[in-house]
Amino acid sequence: MADRRLHEFVRALRGAQIRISPVEVEEALRAAALIGYHPREQFRETLAQTLVKAQVDRARFDQCFDDFFHFESIEADGDEDAEVGALPDTTDVDTGDLSEATANLIAQSPEQLTQSLAEAAAQQDFTAMQVITQQGLFARQLVMNMGMGSVDDDILRLAASPRRRDQNRAEQLRDWRQQVRERASQYVRRQFELHGRAHGRALREHSMRAAPFRELREYHQIQDLVRRMARRLAALHQRRQKRAKRGAMDARRTLVSSLRYNAVPVQLHWRERRKLKSKVYVICDVSGSVREAARFLLQFLYAMNDVLPQVRSFAFAARFDEVTDDFRQYNPEVAVGRILDRVSGSGTDYGYMFESFQEVCGREIDRRSTVIILGDARNNDLPAGEEHLAEISRRARQVFWLNPEHPSRWNSGDAIMAKYEPYCRAARRCASLNDLSRFVDYLLRALNNSQ
């Protein structure tokens, strides 16, 4: 039971966005078994020492601890929290012909009744609560676990009696039952705040990841989500790099060194891989139809400085310009605003863009270069300039094209994707954060394999 409660507490902490590894959970379980659960402050500090890694998380840990171990606090302190509200004293209720279960319940002091409520709560799994409408069901289960079903039966029986005295007792029992229910509802609401928020946050993040870029401005937490997705991908890529850096086993050197240990391969030798620094060039169409996708692509890539240190970015619409320094000097919101002021306008010209990019970076493009183009390929019936893209593709290691439109529209109207696609290693749809995350993961794997 104690281990289950601690696991539920860890889930509540994770729901409060405190990162906890399985190893840390095991350490917390062992520490709690060693130190014990009382006194309360010693138990709190024990868990904090094993589960909290950053000082900024301590306040959220303390709040979760107070909310989660609320009943345990009352039992230990022997004092009711005034904020929660005291349970009624039922010493004046006549228990004459009531059932044994009901008589036992109403004979309890408020402190004993609180302990009964805590014991009933310990039997329930409140982590299953996902939506606010489940609170009533869980509160009902909580009071039934206390044995309140017998109270309901006695109230019905007394209310049906023709005697005035029985009807008054039924009214007293209703008042008492209502106060117990309110107390149970308060506890369930607190548990929903702990566990339901995590489900709600996960649901919101799932919606944001799948929503089209143009709808993401409605979400206030979107910048934080982009940063967390980028950090997660960067950490995953760094682990892959660490494994890949070791290379394949050098069987010859391993066998030779084993001769010193009676042919036992005590020391393993690995072939070190020659590491080439990749260069990434990002060209974004920032005209009205593609602007939001470009904003998130650039934010995503610049949030991954640890694994993509050499990114040069360019934007174009009516004009073409390099925007690398804008993202290095300003936060993403300010940088995007400055870029749009500088290059936005009507008349997107992809032919002019490819020619300009070739003039600026043509000599730098080599087999270490990856070029990413984000645009809808709608060229306003202007010359396509595919010969410039062909030359870029010939010199670079790989060219990727991201198009926010559905593939069925890639060649409709003034869109000329068919002219550019043959010169790209891959052309993918990129209309949401999920698409963007999958592409960046694919890009990092491609860069890792090219090293």
For 27, counting Cβ atoms within 10 Å of its Cβ (0-12 exposed, 13-18 middle, 19+ buried), the class is middle
pLDDT at 81 (0 to 100): 46
How far apart (Å, rounded) are the C-alpha atoms in residues 430 and 84? Answer: 51
Domain boundary among 182, 202, 222: 202
Task: Tell whether 387 is covered by a domain.
Answer: yes
pLDDT at 393 (0 to 100): 93
- Give the tens place of pLDDT for each residue, 298-354: 777 777 766 676 788 898 887 888 988 887 788 777 777 788 778 776 678 898 899
Q: pLDDT (tens digit, 0 to 9) for every residue of the chain, 451 residues total? A: 567 788 888 888 887 778 888 888 888 888 888 888 778 888 889 899 888 888 888 888 888 888 887 765 555 444 444 444 555 566 566 667 778 888 888 888 777 888 888 888 878 888 777 777 888 888 888 888 888 888 888 888 888 888 888 888 888 888 888 888 888 888 888 888 777 767 777 777 777 888 888 777 666 667 777 777 777 777 777 777 776 666 677 888 888 888 888 888 888 887 766 665 778 898 988 887 777 787 788 777 777 766 676 788 898 887 888 988 887 788 777 777 788 778 776 678 898 899 999 999 988 898 889 999 988 888 888 888 899 999 999 999 999 999 989 999 999 888 899 999 999 999 999 888 888 888 888 888 877 665 5
Based on the domain organization, do 418 and 297 belong to the same domain? yes
How far apart (Å, rounded) are the C-alpha atoms in residues 11 and 125? Answer: 12
Domain boundary among 244, 275, 306: 275
Domain boundary among 210, 241, 275: 275
CA angle 288, 294, 299 (to 5 degrees): 140
Based on the domain organization, do 303 and 399 belong to the same domain? yes
How far apart (Å, rounded) are the C-alpha atoms in residues 275 and 254? Answer: 23
Based on the domain organization, do 334 and 346 belong to the same domain? yes
Based on the domain organization, do 11 and 130 belong to the same domain? no
Domain that holds residue 13: 1-69
Task: Tell whether 270 is covered by a domain.
Answer: yes
Based on the domain organization, do 137 and 253 belong to the same domain? no
Task: Tell whether 241 is covered by a domain.
Answer: yes
Residue 319 and residue 261 in contact, taking contact as beta carbons nearer than 8 Å: no
| Torsion sign, CA atoms 400, 402, 408, 414 | negative
Based on the domain organization, do 334 and 418 belong to the same domain? yes
How far apart (Å, rounded) are the C-alpha atoms in residues 285 and 292? Answer: 10
CATH of the domain at 429: 3.40.50.410
Based on the domain organization, do 344 and 252 belong to the same domain? no
Task: Tell whether 172 is covered by a domain.
Answer: yes
pLDDT at 84 (0 to 100): 46
Residue 173 and residue 101 in contact, taking contact as beta carbons nearer than 8 Å: no
pTM of the model: 0.61
| Torsion sign, CA atoms 280, 284, 290, 294 | positive
pLDDT at 422 (0 to 100): 94
Based on the domain organization, do 347 and 395 belong to the same domain? yes
pLDDT at 306 (0 to 100): 64
Based on the domain organization, do 301 and 361 belong to the same domain? yes
- C-alpha dihedral, 222 to 226 to 229 to 230, nearest 10°: -170
For 399, counting Cβ atoms within 10 Å of its Cβ (0-12 exposed, 13-18 middle, 19+ buried), the class is buried
Task: Tell whether 371 is covered by a domain.
Answer: yes
Total count of domains within the chain: 4
Based on the domain organization, do 154 and 283 belong to the same domain? no
Task: Tell whether 87 is covered by a domain.
Answer: no
Based on the domain organization, do 303 and 271 belong to the same domain? no
Task: Tell whether 271 is covered by a domain.
Answer: yes
CA distances from 386 to 35, 352, 383 (A): 71, 10, 9
Based on the domain organization, do 246 and 284 belong to the same domain? no
Task: Tell whether 209 is covered by a domain.
Answer: no
